[in-house]
Amino acid sequence: MNSLQQLTNTARWLRTRRIFPVCTLLPIVLSACGSTGPQVTTEQGPSPFIGIVHLNAYDTSALSSVQYTIAPKPGTVSKPVHVEYTREALSARGDLHPDALEVPVFGLYAGYENHVSIELTRQDGSPTEFEVDIPTRVYTDVSGIYGNPDIVTRRAAGSALGYDFIYIKSSLGAPVIIDTDGEIRWTVTGVSNSSASAFVGDEFLIGDQMQPTVHRLRLDGTVTESALPSSVYTDFNHNIDPGKLGGLAEVGASSDGVASIESNIIEMENPNRKPTRISNHWDMAAILSAYMTSQGDDAAAFVRPGVDWFHTNAAVYDPSDDSIIVSSREHFLIKLDYRTGAIKWILGDPTKYWYTFPSLRAKALTLVGGGLYPVGQHAASITPDGLLMIFNDGSGSFNQPPGAPSGEWRTYSAVSAYSIDAASMTARNVWNYDAGQAIYSEVCGSAYEQPDGSLLVDYAVADDATEALVMGLDSGHNVVFDFQYPTSSCDTSWNARPIPFDDLAIKR
């Protein structure tokens, strides 16, 4: 039995045991203590951060939705966890019965008596509210990392920030969710690596690092899995980013015994299906070889199957012109037509090897007005105001042919945002955040912007690859919080994104 099956079986076992009745103050129609009303009980889930609230002898026929709110600990600043389930979502998860209801409650504090407010809304709009206390067991952080951060800067009361919860993608196990006070608010055991993952609805889609399998890990702790449909794909690497129809994932592939290492992107339209449906595939070796050859260049001098010549680490869909932007750590950012794969433009350091090829140089954007070119970049994204943003690591190429130029190497990392003018084939470095040029994360790392302009920045391998720094910046790029965790390589926090635990709607 594999670890994922063990986790699922544990969750099922816990849902039938360790039920702790509670006597709560409820409206008369939900009198938990009366002999004629429903019995309200709680039980612990598969981790200390998950609980289940049961309502028995309750007519659910007219139920429309259920929402809960977890009260913050005294002295903390992060917003309350707030989650709403539709009737359809509860039914799809097997939690809705004719005369009973189970409400998975996640985001609890470990080792604490959590005060939870629950509201049941009927189809006529009438609400019924009640409260329950859910005690949780102490969490044992086997990694010894996430439970005791070094809080260099603690978030102050009243500080402006467009998010309150953070999803850390870890190579050490399942995703870890923390709040902006540094408290762990969710994780489970049984998942060995969550580097290549994305959060959709109420579940993590996790690409397996060892095989072409997608694991679906729900916030209630249940796990299912499905395989990729083609035998060409071998594994997942790096990230899963938002696409046009689903998730854009970096995958390994193999054909005729030759490995295509970290140079393929697929879009998984519906990872819930078995097998997972792939709606599009971009083979960067094939795309670049065909283009370069058509322009008279020696593509074989650039495209080198069997070695890590390209090193994809992110991809993002751009709805403004129906395209995707792919990040190659070794070379550049490249924009492709979503449907045809045609190259629209390339943005990268012109002192690198790729710029020596006339065909690629013809697609290069000129950086006007000075600034920083993308160098060793990760975490490409489109900001709410339409800029292209990256975590600009500052490292040159690691794996070029002997004697080929590796490009610029900097002594610091930055967050860089660009405006692109495709008509004039120019780019402008609109702004950078460089922390006073004092922090260097040679590889990995991420930065994402919220609608209010605030940033979440993850320096994955700072301090000579011994510390992962997770930092929150307000819209003026002032540090709101700064948490430090020990790391080895990119293991602790290779990528981190905001997650809406304060306003999560689970609809289906």
Do 128 and 176 sit in the same domain of this protein? Answer: no
Cα dihedral 374, 378, 381, 386, rounded to 10, equals -10
Cα separation of the two ends of the chain = 30
Q: What are phi and psi of 336, to 5 degrees?
A: -120, 145
Return the H-helix or E-strand segment holding 462: helix 462-465
Do 75 and 175 sit in the same domain of this protein? Answer: no
Do 67 and 126 sit in the same domain of this protein? Answer: yes
In a domain, 53, yes or no: yes
In a domain, 23, yes or no: yes
For residues 508 and 89, the answer to whether their CB atoms sit within 8 Å is yes
Omega cis (within 30) before 275: yes
The Cα–Cα gap between 107 and 415 comes to: 30
For residues 250 and 264, the answer to whether their CB atoms sit within 8 Å is yes
In a domain, 93, yes or no: yes
- Please give the structure tokens belonging to residue 267: 């879009």
Question: Which has the closest alpha carbon to 43: 32, 30, 56, 52?
Answer: 52
3 state DSSP class of 9: helix
- Total number of domains in the chain: 2
Distance from the Cα of residue 169 to its chain's centroid: 6
Range of the domain at 186: 159-191+450-502
The Cα–Cα gap between 448 and 239 comes to: 14
In a domain, 37, yes or no: yes
Do 9 and 121 sit in the same domain of this protein? Answer: yes
Distance from the Cα of residue 193 to its chain's centroid: 13
- Please give the structure tokens belonging to residue 465: 């690859």
The Cα–Cα gap between 221 and 255 comes to: 36
Side-by-side strand order, sheet with 333-337: 312-318, 323-328, 333-337, 343-347
Written as tens digits, the pLDDT of the chain (508 aa) is 444 443 443 333 333 333 333 433 333 234 333 334 468 999 999 999 999 999 999 999 999 999 999 999 999 999 999 999 999 999 999 999 999 999 999 999 999 999 999 999 999 999 999 999 999 999 999 899 999 999 999 999 999 999 999 999 999 999 999 999 999 999 998 889 999 999 998 999 999 999 999 999 999 999 998 899 888 999 999 999 999 999 999 999 998 888 999 999 999 986 555 667 899 999 999 999 999 999 999 999 999 999 999 999 999 999 999 999 999 999 999 999 999 999 999 999 999 999 999 999 999 999 999 999 999 999 999 999 999 999 999 999 999 999 999 999 999 999 999 999 999 999 999 999 999 999 999 999 999 999 999 999 999 999 999 999 999 999 999 999 999 999 999 999 999 999 999 999 999 8
Do 55 and 112 sit in the same domain of this protein? Answer: yes
Do 77 and 178 sit in the same domain of this protein? Answer: no
Detail the DSSP E strand segments found in 123-270. Answer: 127-135, 150-153, 165-169, 176-179, 184-186, 197-200, 203-207, 213-218, 223-227, 233-242, 247-255, 258-270
DSSP 382-399: E-TTS-EEEEE-----SS
In a domain, 211, yes or no: no
Do 48 and 123 sit in the same domain of this protein? Answer: yes
The Cα–Cα gap between 81 and 165 comes to: 9
pTM for this entry:
0.91
The Cα–Cα gap between 258 and 305 comes to: 7
Helix, strand, coil content of the chain in percent (nearest 5):
10, 45, 45
In a domain, 400, yes or no: no
Residues forming beta bridges with residue 461, ordered by sequence position: none
Question: 């019924």: which residue's tokens?
Answer: 128
Cα dihedral 239, 245, 246, 251, rounded to 10, equals -50
Chosen domain end from 101, 120, 135: 135
- Please give the structure tokens belonging to residue 240: 């899963």
Do 67 and 172 sit in the same domain of this protein? Answer: no
CATH number at residue 25: 2.60.40.3100
- Please give the structure tokens belonging to residue 165: 């919860």
The Cα–Cα gap between 130 and 88 comes to: 22
